[in-house]
């Protein structure tokens, strides 16, 4: 019998299984939703629905580079234990490679086909049922240059090109690629350590600046200084904040004294060609996710039926 899109959607909502699995289940059960749910459960594919509400703040960040283009992805799980699972690591690596063609579009990436068969989203759903934890493909970004290099770096890598902090650096230049790679690696390490909020001061979030201004005002008022002095204190504080949080004006962590912009300029002079840092991306696992605090004793009591 013909299976409608509405039936597939309803079954997906009920079971949490992937689209292709839902289609197959409905075909096997002549469109009977309840029977299809049972069919999915017998295959272990409906288990994902029960896990989908649990917080997934662990997992891995994966990076991939192909020529002048790079991609970074974050795939979350509930526990750090899953990050050590070979199947999970293989999935993250494959998704990072596919992300090179997704151009930062998370929905496009979810729909892309994996070599093993099925879309990224469908394979992820199957992994949830197999591994037994909620998992999610949270975000992805790509960066590219017309000429030059994209350099990737993973801090404390747990496997090739994946770990808890992933960085991409885009260097636009006609300089020798080996020299650019070496410079890019150092800058990427700096970014991992210093966590800049933008490439330059103009790129800093206006809301972030406004919040810092309010903090500086409060400090100036508490100091009891005259208004004209207090205003200078506020502007001085904002200038300092911008300098410390914009990548190009940060002091290079490797020597602790040279602004990153000057490091790049010096490298360009040595290479005999201008080097421009046009973009960067830094993904830190779980940033922005509120982790649920669990009461282990209560969980044990609940499991025991108390």
Give yes or no: residues 28 and 117 share one domain.
no
pLDDT of residue 127: 86
CATH code, domain with 86: 3.30.479.20
Q: What is the pLDDT of residues 258-287, one digit of tens each?
A: 999 999 999 999 999 999 999 999 999 988
> Which two tokens mark 114?
């994996």
Q: Can you give the residue range of the structural domain that contains 108?
A: 58-201+247-284
118 within some domain: yes
pLDDT over 60 at 298, yes or no: no
21 within some domain: yes
Give yes or no: residues 187 and 209 share one domain.
no
pLDDT of residue 290: 58
Give yes or no: residues 194 and 69 share one domain.
yes
Q: What is the pLDDT of residues 205-223, one digit of tens each?
A: 999 899 888 888 877 877 7
pLDDT of residue 123: 92
Q: What is the SS3 assignment for 111?
A: helix
- Check: CB of residue 121 under 8 Å from CB of residue 137: yes
Residue in the block written with tokens 């002095």: 229
> Which two tokens mark 106?
């998370």
Q: Give the neighbor-by-neighbor strand order of the sheet with 58-66.
A: 135-144, 69-77, 58-66, 162-163
Residue in the block written with tokens 């063609």: 101
Q: What is the pLDDT of residues 233-249, one digit of tens each?
A: 888 989 999 999 999 99
Instruction: Tell me the pLDDT of the chain averaged across its residues.
Output: 87
Please indicate, yes or no, whether the overall pTM of this predicted structure exceeds 0.85: no
- Nearest of 46, 11, 190 to residue 125 by alpha carbon: 46
Distance CA 260, CA 273 (A): 17
Give yes or no: residues 259 and 151 share one domain.
yes
pLDDT of residue 46: 58
pLDDT of residue 187: 98
Give yes or no: residues 115 and 194 share one domain.
yes
Length of the chain as a residue count: 306
CATH code, domain with 46: 1.10.8.10
Task: Give the C-alpha distances (Å, rounded to integers) separating 77 from 54, 126, 149, 178, 213.
Answer: 9, 14, 32, 36, 37
Q: What is the pLDDT of residues 63-91, one digit of tens each?
A: 999 999 999 999 999 888 888 889 999 99
CB within 8 A of 207, min separation 6: which ones?
Answer: none
Average pLDDT over residues 40-53: 56
């Amino acid at each position: 019998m013909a299976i409608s899109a509405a039936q597939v959607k309803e079954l997906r909502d009920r079971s949490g299984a992937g689209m292709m699995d839902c289609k197959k289940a409905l075909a096997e059960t002549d469109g009977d939703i309840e029977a299809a749910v049972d069919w999915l459960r017998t295959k272990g594919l409906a288990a994902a629905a029960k896990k989908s509400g649990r917080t997934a703040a662990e997992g891995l960040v994966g990076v991939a580079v192909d020529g002048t283009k790079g991609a970074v992805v974050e795939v979350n799980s509930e526990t750090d234990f899953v990050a050590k699972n070979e199947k999970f690591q293989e999935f993250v690596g494959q998704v990072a490679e596919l992300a090179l063609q997704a151009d930062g579009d998370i929905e496009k990436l979810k729909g892309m086909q994996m070599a093993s068969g099925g879309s990224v989203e469908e394979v992820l759903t199957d992994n949830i049922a197999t591994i037994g934890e909620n998992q999610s493909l949270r975000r992805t970004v790509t960066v590219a240059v017309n000429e030059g290099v994209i350099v990737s770096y993973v801090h404390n890598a747990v496997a090739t090109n994946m770990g808890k902090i992933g960085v991409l650096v885009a260097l636009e230049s006609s300089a020798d690629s080996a020299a650019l790679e070496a410079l890019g690696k150092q800058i990427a390490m700096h970014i991992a350590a210093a966590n800049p909020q933008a490439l330059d001061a103009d790129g800093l979030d206006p809301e972030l600046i406004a919040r810092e201004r309010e903090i500086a005002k409060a400090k100036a008022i508490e100091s009891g200084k005259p208004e004209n002095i207090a205003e200078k204190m506020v502007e001085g504080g904002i200038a300092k904040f911008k300098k410390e949080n914009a990548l190009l004006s940060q002091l290079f962590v490797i020597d602790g004294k040279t602004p990153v912009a000057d490091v790049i300029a010096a490298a360009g002079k040595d290479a005999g060609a201008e080097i421009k840092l046009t973009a960067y991306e830094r993904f830190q696992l779980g940033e922005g996710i509120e982790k649920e605090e669990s009461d282990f004793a209560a969980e044990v009591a609940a499991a025991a039926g108390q």
